[in-house]
Homo-oligomer: A and B are copies of this chain.
Amino acid sequence: MAYKHILVAIDLSEDSVVLVNKAATLARTMEAKLSLIHIDVNYAELYTGLIDINLSEAQHRMADDAQQQLRHLADKAGYPVSHTLVGSGDLADEICEAIDNLDIELIVCGHHQDFWSKILSSAKQLINRTPVDMLMVPLK
């Protein structure tokens, strides 16, 4: 058995279905556990000690919404999904924490090959930090 627990990093774009299906196929082949994570990076720079109550509520709503979308993806995966996680803040920090907590052995993420993604890519940041193997799936 090559990997025991696979975590898919999901941005909730249209490509998420492709990523989840690919990871589900891998998990089935390896008889591995499969989990999904979404990190909301948009609010990262707004983080301060004092969070405005409305912002906090908005974040809460977004987290609920993201959790629902993850569960929907999990239902369509055709393979049992162990955990669906939603977090916010620094992508690499959050994913490394999840790797620790869930004993993840492989992280799966997408990578767009357009101009901006080549320069600013969350996936590329993660490469420098992840303690476990990382499967990058090229997306259009």
Most buried by B among A30, A129, A133, A137: A133
Q: Chain B residues near A118 (CB, 8 Å)?
A: 128
Number of interface residues of A (CB under 8 A): 24
What's the Cα separation between A132 and B138 when bound, in Å?
7
From the candidates B113, B129, B134, B137, name the one contacting A128 in the complex (CB within 8 A): B113
Helix, strand, loop or mixed for chain A's interface? mixed
Flag if B135 contacts A133 (CB, 8 Å). Answer: yes
Residue of B nearest to A106 (CB): B135
Output the least CB separation between A106 and chain B (Å). 8
Q: Chain B residues near A134 (CB, 8 Å)?
A: 135-136, 138
